[in-house]
Amino acid sequence: GFCFRPHGRDVQKHSVHTLVFRSLKRTHDMFVSDHAKPIALDDGSHKVKMGVKLKTEYGAVLHMPVLKEGKDRVSQLPGTMEGHQNDPEYLITGTHAYPSGPGVTLTADTKVHRNPSEGGVHSMALALPPSQARLDASRTAASIGDIQRHAGAERSHPQSTAVSLMEGGSTRNSTLMRKAPTMPKPQWHPPWKLFRVISGHLGWVRSIAVEPGNQWFVTGSADRTIKIWDLASGKLKLSLTGHISTVRGVAVSSRSPYLFSCGEDKQVKCWDLEYNKVIRHYHGHLSAVYDLDLHPTIDVLVTCSRDATARVWDIRTKANVHTLTGHTNTVATVRCQAAEPQIITGSHDSTIRLWDLIAGKTRATLTNHKKSVRTLVMHPRQYTFASGSADNIKQWMFPDGSFIQNLSGHNAIINTLAVNSDGVLVSGADNGTIHMWDWRTGYNFQRIHAAVQPGSLDSESGIFACVFDHSESRLITAEADKTIKVYKEDDTATEESHPVNWKPEILKRKRF
């Protein structure tokens, strides 16, 4: 269009193209001096960013829990605050954003506060020498002493307490002597010894299950067969053929005369043991099926696979009730229980997931492991479970998977875990070593490395699966030298002949 200037002369018309380029050039000339200059840091948004970063990346370790060494002294100290809060050394960490002193403003660090999780506190309360713990804590939060002082609380304290209050709780009065944290002594367990070697499979033995009546047990092997063995004599009762690849998982139902098997041929089969025939197939996995477990109280079967899913099947109708997705790599192991969470899975993506069976969704994801989680085991009596990985074995508390402790020292790829009601935890590794642990204290009371069967290479030493029979007096292992080995407790051993050599350096319990 035209634009009339006051003195009536037409402005020269240009194509839009030219105008745009002129405008571009002018803009460039205008800002050329600032070219590639970073934008000034906006304080507010930087704080928000750092806050988020702190919380997501360092949330778990932002506030080191403090030794609650005042618990036993509380009764002697009169004071108006409840519980152990009148103990000058019990520092509040991570409950509210407290300034570290009067008139001190909160920084980006101290604004982000988060309560330390229960399990974390208990497992780490032992971790630091007390003086260090106190320093760390006073860096992030004020001691009760400080708070009471700054609030100008006029309270009567016994002399010793008053002194340490004046010092901001930093000096030790001789009347307040610390008790060293005590570690419970591990329960004594007799050592286990090799009792029988059963051969018969022509390939690696990958999986074992003991039937509920404890008369026989089943093994699945890389020779594509499933073999049923007499538990008492170790004699072969039956071979079942039908899989066209390694049989990776077997399970015997306690609710029906059925045996379930899964394998690298993507097949999940249900065998009727009255006819020794396959009566059902469960179709759906897109890749090798690595493990399966039966639900103890409902007629469902859960399988997990290299396709990164676990699938829940209705045993009778063969329907795929749920596909549990979320893992980003092979799901190596799955376990079911009657209580919530009813399904837990461990995966090569190094996470463990606890699942809500009803909704078919993840309830919680545990990311503490750094390496593939190949095995999970539930404690038969307690509401706890353990997971095995090449970095270490971890124990967890249901229902949320709060961390209990690490069992370190089995430095190998752990393929299998088993635990009995006596509190003996067994870990079997890819290099053929077996470690025996006391469940409660994590004390490693025995290490076994059985010789391979004659004619095998030493490299064929490996444990793929291990399980206690129902009497819990036999431990059966499935091995890479194509044998099944049966261990039993050494009856001749006593506490004197095999003393507990307990050095509690496990005080340094690591979270990860």
pLDDT (tens digit, 9 = 90+) per residue, 354-397? 999 999 999 999 999 999 999 999 999 999 999 999 999 999 99
> Is 91 inside a domain boundary?
no
Of 57 and 464, more confident? 464
pLDDT of residue 34: 75
- Summarised one tens digit per residue, pLDDT across range 234-256 is 999 999 999 999 999 999 999 99
Q: Which of 97-111, 180-194, 411-425 has the lowest mean pLDDT?
A: 97-111
> Is 107 inside a domain boundary?
no
> Is 147 inside a domain boundary?
no
Counting other chains too, the contacts that 499-504 makes at CB distance below 8 Å and 24 or more residues apart are 500/185, 500/186, 500/188, 500/443, 500/445, 502/185, 502/186, 502/441, 502/443, 504/183
> Is 380 inside a domain boundary?
yes
CB 106 within 8 A of CB 384: no
pLDDT of residue 93: 45
> Is 14 inside a domain boundary?
no
pLDDT grade, residue 320 (50/70/90)?
very high
Q: Is cis: bond before 399, omega within 30 of 0?
A: yes
| Interatomic CA distance for residues 437 and 502, integer angstroms | 12
> Is 310 inside a domain boundary?
yes
**Winning range, highest mean pLDDT, from 47-61, 79-93, 136-150, 416-430:** 416-430
**Is the pLDDT assigned to residue 455 strictly greater than 50?**
yes
Of 509 and 259, more confident? 259
Range of the domain at 234: 192-489
> Is 414 inside a domain boundary?
yes
Q: Which of 147-156, 165-174, 497-506 has the lowest mean pLDDT?
A: 165-174
pLDDT of residue 422: 94
> Is 52 inside a domain boundary?
no
CB 210 within 8 A of CB 228: no
CATH assignment of the domain containing 371: 2.130.10.10
Q: Cβ atoms within 10 A of the Cβ of 358, count?
A: 9
Mean pLDDT of the chain: 82
The DSSP output letter for 401 is T
Of 102 and 492, more confident? 492
**Is the pLDDT assigned to residue 326 strictly greater than 60?**
yes
Radius of gyration of the chain (CA): 32
Percent of the chain at pLDDT > 70 equals 73
Question: How many domains does the chain divide into?
Answer: 1
| Interatomic CA distance for residues 228 and 207, integer angstroms | 12
